[in-house]
């Protein structure tokens, strides 16, 4: 397994909509790539990671709601995930993102979702209901597949300040490296 580089905002790659995994892509290589994504998520550390965050334009997601507690117990791997149903009940959650370090945004999410996806190894269709924290993680990662990042959900002022701070930091870092 390998730890992959995580793309951070502002990077236009994060705003691209991911493409479906094609039938001929399912199998060992895809399963290994998702294992690499999981290792990357744990190393970051995080509780979810979408393929666009590691420069992969496919609809792939890994999550582990127990990652902070040792991880591995709730590791889930999804290919072509789609939310089939959302509950009317909502929750507000203070979210962070591996691609938008040092930013926290309160986001309104469905309390419960029904998710449909394909198994990365076999391509078989599966469904499961996720609630609470796990539902929030899944919805956050699926946002990445649609080209929506946490920065997009921040207020205009918060977004502007964040981008200005990141650009300044990158300029300073490049000056120090030269």
Active site residues: 141
Q: Where are the beta strands (DSSP E) in the chain?
A: 48-50, 60-63, 76-86, 90-97, 100-110, 112-118, 125-131
The neighbour count for residue 117, using CB atoms within 10 Å, is 22
Cβ(130)–Cβ(64) below 8 Å: no
Give just the sign of the alpha carbon dihedral 171, 104, 136, 150: negative
Task: For residue 152, count other CB atoms closer than 10 A to its CB.
Answer: 15
Q: How many helices (H) and strands (E) does the chain have?
A: 4, 7
Cα gap 19→149, rounded to integer Å: 17
What's the rounded Cα separation, in Å, for the pair 18 and 34?
A: 15
């Amino acid at each position: 397994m390998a730890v992959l580089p995580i793309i951070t905002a502002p990077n236009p790659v994060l705003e691209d909509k991911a493409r479906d995994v094609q039938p001929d892509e399912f199998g060992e290589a895809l399963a290994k790539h998702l294992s690499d994504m999981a290792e990357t998520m744990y190393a970051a550390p995080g509780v979810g990671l979408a393929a666009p965050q590691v420069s992969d334009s496919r609809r792939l997601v890994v999550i582990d709601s127990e990652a902070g507690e040792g991880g591995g117990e709730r590791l889930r791997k999804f290919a072509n995930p789609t939310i089939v149903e959302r509950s009317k009940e909502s929750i507000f959650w203070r979210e962070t993102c591996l691609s938008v370090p040092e930013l926290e945004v309160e986001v309104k999410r469905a309390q419960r979702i029904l998710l449909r996806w394909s198994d990365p190894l076999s391509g078989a269709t599966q469904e499961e209901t996720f609630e609470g924290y796990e539902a929030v993680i899944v919805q956050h990662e699926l946002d990445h597949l649609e080209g929506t990042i946490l920065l997009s959900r921040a207020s205009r002022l918060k977004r502007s300040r964040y981008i200005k701070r990141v650009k300044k930091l990158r300029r300073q870092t490049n000056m120090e490296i030269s």
